[in-house]
């Protein structure tokens, strides 16, 4: 595997890229080879929650489903925060049940996120996707066992360079989310910021991928950088 895209909404089907394509329960596409699935805090529909949970539970049991998510907490959402907390914690129980890592969407609720991980004693890896915050928060999240994924904001926000450089090499992943630039552009910039050759960065990301997804490796992917 030359490139791993931790979070994308667009399946590009490139032979040297393993894409973790984000899927929602009611819009599931069975043609996508590897994916994550979850109930996003912005799209919680209480009228169909039981149906959504059933689909998420069923898909998490499959080998091609590599992770739960994106799911999490968002204080900008119109959904009451108590409802978000309930839906998030119930999804985390499914991640524990199926022993799948979690791709996290978090907006203005990082202290709650850390508290939930501690209280529920979550054992599966948790990756905060699209990270764009300050170094002070980085330390808190790393100290509490989170992984951080960078992509869109790394490309768009020059001030994020120092934050990314501060991340231990064993705790980051890379993604594109919904940006037009491909994962190669993200890798190239990440390697530049870290002062690494592209091959060195690929080796680091592959190692982190194996750590997070080690029990759920797709059989058809070559993991050598």
Whole-number Å distance between alpha carbons of 158 and 19:
25
Q: Are 25 and 56 in contact (CB under 8 A)?
A: yes
The response to whether 105 counts as a known ligand-binding position is yes
Edge-first strand listing for the sheet containing 102-107: 3-8, 17-23, 35-37, 65-74, 102-107, 126-128, 147-150, 172-174
Helix (H, G, I), strand (E, B) or coil at 60: helix
The response to whether 70 counts as a known ligand-binding position is yes
The response to whether 129 counts as a known ligand-binding position is yes
Cβ neighbors of 48 (< 8 A, separation 6 or more) are: 26
Nearest 10 degrees: Cα torsion 54, 121, 72, 41: 50
Whole-number Å distance between alpha carbons of 11 and 33:
9
Binding residue ranges = 70, 105, 129, 177
Binding residue ranges for a divalent metal cation = 70, 105, 129, 177
């Amino acid at each position: 595997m030359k490139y791993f895209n931790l979070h994308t909404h667009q399946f590009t089907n490139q032979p040297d890229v393993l894409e973790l394509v984000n899927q929602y329960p009611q819009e599931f596409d069975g043609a996508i080879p590897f994916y994550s699935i979850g109930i996003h805090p912005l799209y919680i529909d209480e009228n169909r929650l039981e149906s959504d949970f059933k689909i998420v539970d069923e898909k998490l049991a499959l080998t091609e489903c590599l992770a739960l998510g994106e799911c999490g907490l968002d204080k900008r959402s119109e959904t009451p925060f108590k409802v978000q907390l309930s839906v998030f914690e119930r999804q985390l129980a499914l991640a524990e049940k199926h022993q799948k890592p979690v791709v996290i969407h978090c907006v203005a609720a990082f202290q709650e996120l850390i508290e939930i991980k501690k209280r529920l004693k979550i054992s599966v890896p948790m990756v905060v996707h699209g990270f764009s915050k300050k170094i002070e928060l980085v330390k808190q999240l790393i100290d509490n066992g989170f992984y951080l994924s960078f992509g869109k904001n790394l490309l768009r926000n020059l001030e994020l360079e120092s934050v990314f450089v501060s991340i231990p090499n064993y705790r980051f992943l890379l993604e594109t989310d919904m940006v037009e630039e491909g994962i190669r552009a993200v890798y190239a910039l990440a390697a530049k910021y870290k002062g690494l050759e592209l091959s060195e960065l690929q080796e680091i990301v592959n190692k982190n991928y194996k750590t997070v997804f080690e029990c759920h490796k797709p059989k058809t992917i070559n993991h050598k950088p």
